A and B are shown apart, each in its own frame.
Chain A
Amino acid sequence: MARMTMIEALRSAMDVKLMDDPSVIVFGEDVGYFGGVFRCTAGLQARHGEERVFDTPINESAIVGLAVGMAAQGMRPCVEIQFADYVFPAYDQITQEAARLRHRSNEQFTCPLVVRMPTGGGIFGGQTHSQSPEALFTHVAGLKVVIPATPYDAKGLLISAIEDPDPVIFLEPKRIYNGPFFGDHSGKSVPWSSHPAGEVPEGHYTVPLGKAEIRRAGSDVTVLAYGTMVHVAEAAASEAGVDAEIIDLRTLLPLDVETIRTSVEKTGRCVVVHEATRTGGFGGELIAEVQEACFWHLRAPLLRVTGWDAPYPHAQEWDYFPSPARIARALVQVMGD
């Protein structure tokens, strides 16, 4: 077992797949010679050659459009969008093309591709390097939407995504690329090497898509979170002194409703946490699922702790980012109700 950061784990996943499947190729802006602005593909071109790992022009629509054409022929492109904030020129190719090709062609053509992109805030990136657009993809039939919270899951989920027969949006919480983040930006940063989830096997393994993971078992309240917020929620629960059951959703689409239902039926309370803006956010979908599945087990109103419905700020980042204190308040509130 090796110690890896999430960046190294993602790189290892691509390396493993580039080795064992000649149809896998990796491309995007700066991903070739240089190895990506976050270094996720560092060394892969040197190891696998320019035909397998290469740079593209700054044209997201082309990055995904080319990948759709390649995937339709049976290749398995794993492409990078430099920041999730830059995905919008490719939104047409993702939502109208990749997502629907299997269905509209009655399976004459399919689209096994992965679109990786760093998502979320916490790095002082301002409004164009901090957004969390997951709900814009979970609303699209035909896509799968994945977001890991640990290096181990990042690698196992990315290998599953590359092997999946359908298009996968793979969101990478960039705040936890190098270590878990517990919501206190002034605190000392913790590297993944000192965290148990930083232990990652060198070779091939998978973490299944569509399966949530209970990060912390608890009996008082279920917290539904994903990405960076899994760790922030853990910190918040201990700050609040609440015995929370923290569920890392890992895959948002298709959603593991069973794990959620089992937990909420046990706890009777549920708080949803995400960085993205609230209105129309994925939290609303989670609340609706919980309400439909668990209404008669609920002991308190369902709450959401999210980013505000404003553009992601630069200087005021920590007033925007859902803090452990805000989450703790929500936990205390549902316990008091």
Chain B
Amino acid sequence: MQPVVLPAARREITAAKLSFPRPPARPDQPPDFSNIVVPPAGALPVPPLDIEAQDARSFAVGMVRVLDENSRAVGPWAEYLGDVSAEQLRLGLRDMLKMRAVDRRMLNAQRQGKTSFYLQCTGEEAIGCGFQRQLERGDMNFPTYRQQTLLIAADYPLESLMGQLYSNDLDPLKGRQLPIMHSARDYGFFSISGNLGTQYVQAVGWAMAGALRGNGKIAAGWIGDGATASNDFHSALLSASVYLPPVVLNVVNNQWAISTYTGTAAGKSETYAARALGYGIPALRVDGNDYLAVAAVSRWAIDRARQGFGPVLIEWFTYRVAAHSTSDDPTAYRPKDEAQAWPLGDPVERLKAHLIVRGDWSEERHVQAEAEILDEVTAIQKAVEAHGTFVDPQPISPAEIFRGVYADLPEHLRRQRQEMGC
């Protein structure tokens, strides 16, 4: 058979081309964030709590920022926040420093083989720390594995946090879960699954239950930019749009899903926040490295949900400075110095600079605080390690495998436990 040769004009018409989004820079190239537009601080107003999606476009494609280049809090969102005491801001700074110290110590512990796995949140500290301090007791976060900040700012005991990482007898989860998959109901922290996206629609369900019971509590869903591609992101937004429960849907856009550039999850979408508008859910994009912007927008969104104005989505714009996890090497897929080039800076440095400009902090006090916090974290770490690590294990009873599969141990599990010899 003769091959069919199409005429040239016809070939052009049928030449559909696929798009394969690529990051602006790979390891052998200089970092390039020229595609990211950083609007000036204070540019966006504070919308009314009952804003509708169709009026929220400027918030969804813009970026709420409070701290300007001179480290001053400016604009309507700074005014909305009102007179924030130095004490409150120093608490926020201490939360973030504590988070950084814990991340540093636990990464180190993993490298020493004391735990099998760890995952840092470097660069994203302002988001969870700032958000958590705006919640009330009884509100529930449905976090991903990179929201340990929520635990830190909820003053979750480090003994429990580290015990979970070491799977020793201080582990509230009895060694059943991979390190970092915490669960802390009393601290408003839902059990982390590890299956991406599933928690997002569960947050909506929790919020619906709260509204049905009239208990005045809200839920906060958390998801990364990569997992917005999961079907439960859609399930959550649709359900929230249909039933209008008191839920704040957070998207932490840290630019990377392990090695996959955020563009692969975003496609032709303008921003992740803008996606919510199609569901009729108002949304804002926020400078996630600006602690004051985080605090202000969190307070607004939580207030909106609690007062019954329905769901809202917040895209926290940030950058994942560290590797995805201890099983990842980001130098294989992105420029080594990309974090330094990140246009929104470092959240700790920015809040520190603001406090100094206000006259409420100094370089000396900062150095001293860092040292104190590191000492405190290290001391707790030592105490927790005395209960056992992977290097020096004090195993939890294997019978724990069978406990809690069901409320009551069924016969077949009783037989299996017997077979195991416990």
In the complex, B219 has a CB within 8 A of chain A: yes
In the complex, A102 has a CB within 8 A of chain B: yes
Interface string of A190-231 (1 = CB under 8 A from B): 000000000000000000001000000000000000000000
In the complex, A273 has a CB within 8 A of chain B: no
Interface string of A131-170 (1 = CB under 8 A from B): 0000000000110100000000000000000000110000
Residue ID in chain B nearest A58 by CB atoms: B238
In the complex, A103 has a CB within 8 A of chain B: yes
Contact A59:B239 (CB < 8 A) given known A92-B195, A106-B176: yes
| A97 pairs with B407, CB closer than 8 A | no
A105 to B238, CA, bound (A): 27
| A66 pairs with B205, CB closer than 8 A | yes
| Inter-chain contacts of B203 with A (CB < 8 A) | 69
| Inter-chain contacts of A66 with B (CB < 8 A) | 201-202, 204-205, 208, 239
Q: Which residues, 307 to 353 on B, are CB-close (under 8 Å) to A? A: none
In the complex, B110 has a CB within 8 A of chain A: no
| Inter-chain contacts of B184 with A (CB < 8 A) | 108
| A69 pairs with B183, CB closer than 8 A | no
| B232 pairs with A65, CB closer than 8 A | yes
In the complex, B185 has a CB within 8 A of chain A: yes
A57 to B411, CA, bound (A): 39
| A109 pairs with B191, CB closer than 8 A | yes
| Inter-chain contacts of B195 with A (CB < 8 A) | 92, 96-97
| Inter-chain contacts of A106 with B (CB < 8 A) | 172-174, 176, 183, 404
In the complex, B209 has a CB within 8 A of chain A: yes
Interface string of B185-208 (1 = CB under 8 A from A): 100001101010010011111111
| A107 pairs with B404, CB closer than 8 A | yes
| A69 pairs with B176, CB closer than 8 A | no
| A105 pairs with B185, CB closer than 8 A | yes
The listed residue (B181, B185, B239, B405) touching A103 by CB distance below 8 A is B405
| B201 pairs with A69, CB closer than 8 A | yes
Contact A96:B198 (CB < 8 A) given known A57-B239, A73-B210, A210-B410: yes
Interface centre among B195, B231, B406, B411, by most A CB within 10 Å?
Answer: B406
Interface string of A83-101 (1 = CB under 8 A from B): 0000001001100110001
In the complex, A20 has a CB within 8 A of chain B: no
| A62 pairs with B239, CB closer than 8 A | yes
| B37 nearest CB across to chain A (Å) | 34
| B212 pairs with A108, CB closer than 8 A | no
| Inter-chain contacts of A105 with B (CB < 8 A) | 173, 183, 185, 191
Indicate the size class of the contact surface on chain A: 35 or more
| B220 nearest CB across to chain A (Å) | 12
Residue ID in chain B nearest A289 by CB atoms: B412
| B212 pairs with A25, CB closer than 8 A | yes
Residue ID in chain B nearest A107 by CB atoms: B404
| B412 pairs with A61, CB closer than 8 A | no
| A70 pairs with B176, CB closer than 8 A | no
| A142 pairs with B185, CB closer than 8 A | no
| A97 pairs with B404, CB closer than 8 A | no
In the complex, A254 has a CB within 8 A of chain B: yes
| A108 pairs with B191, CB closer than 8 A | yes
| A257 pairs with B212, CB closer than 8 A | no
The listed residue (B173, B198, B234, B406) touching A142 by CB distance below 8 A is B406
Q: Which residues, 71 to 126 on A, are CB-close (under 8 Å) to B? A: 72-75, 89, 92-93, 96-97, 101-110
Q: Which residues, 46 to 69 on A, are CB-close (under 8 Å) to B? A: 51, 56-57, 59, 61-62, 65-69
| Inter-chain contacts of A144 with B (CB < 8 A) | 406
In the complex, B381 has a CB within 8 A of chain A: no
| A54 nearest CB across to chain B (Å) | 8
| A102 pairs with B407, CB closer than 8 A | yes
| Inter-chain contacts of B190 with A (CB < 8 A) | 72, 109
Indicate the size class of the contact surface on chain B: 35 or more
The listed residue (A59, A101, A141, A254) touching B238 by CB distance below 8 A is A59
| B171 nearest CB across to chain A (Å) | 9
| Inter-chain contacts of B134 with A (CB < 8 A) | none
| Inter-chain contacts of A286 with B (CB < 8 A) | none
A96 to B195, CA, bound (A): 8
Contact A75:B412 (CB < 8 A) given known A106-B176, A109-B191: no
| B298 nearest CB across to chain A (Å) | 21
| A181 nearest CB across to chain B (Å) | 31
A258 to B177, CA, bound (A): 34
| Inter-chain contacts of B183 with A (CB < 8 A) | 104-106, 108-109
| B191 pairs with A68, CB closer than 8 A | no
A109 to B187, CA, bound (A): 13
Contact A65:B242 (CB < 8 A) given known A102-B405, A105-B185, A254-B412: no
| B206 pairs with A70, CB closer than 8 A | yes
The listed residue (A97, A110, A210) touching B193 by CB distance below 8 A is A97
| Inter-chain contacts of B242 with A (CB < 8 A) | 56-57
Contact A57:B238 (CB < 8 A) given known A105-B191, A109-B185, A109-B190: yes
| Inter-chain contacts of A103 with B (CB < 8 A) | 176, 403-405
| Inter-chain contacts of B201 with A (CB < 8 A) | 61-62, 65-66, 69, 93
| B238 pairs with A62, CB closer than 8 A | yes
| A120 nearest CB across to chain B (Å) | 25
| B198 pairs with A92, CB closer than 8 A | yes
| A61 pairs with B231, CB closer than 8 A | yes
A70 to B206, CA, bound (A): 5
| A185 nearest CB across to chain B (Å) | 37
| A96 pairs with B193, CB closer than 8 A | yes
In the complex, B271 has a CB within 8 A of chain A: no
| B412 pairs with A97, CB closer than 8 A | no
A55 to B263, CA, bound (A): 35
11 more contacts with CB within 8 A, not counting A69-B203, A69-B219, A254-B410, are: A61-B231, A66-B205, A68-B202, A70-B205, A70-B208, A75-B212, A92-B195, A93-B232, A97-B193, A103-B404, A142-B406
Q: What are 20 pairs between A and B in contact, CB < 8 Å?
A: A59-B234, A62-B238, A65-B232, A69-B203, A70-B205, A73-B206, A73-B210, A75-B209, A97-B198, A102-B405, A103-B404, A105-B191, A106-B174, A108-B172, A109-B190, A109-B191, A110-B407, A144-B406, A165-B406, A257-B411
Cβ-closest 7 pairs across A and B = A69-B205, A65-B201, A66-B205, A69-B202, A105-B191, A62-B235, A254-B410
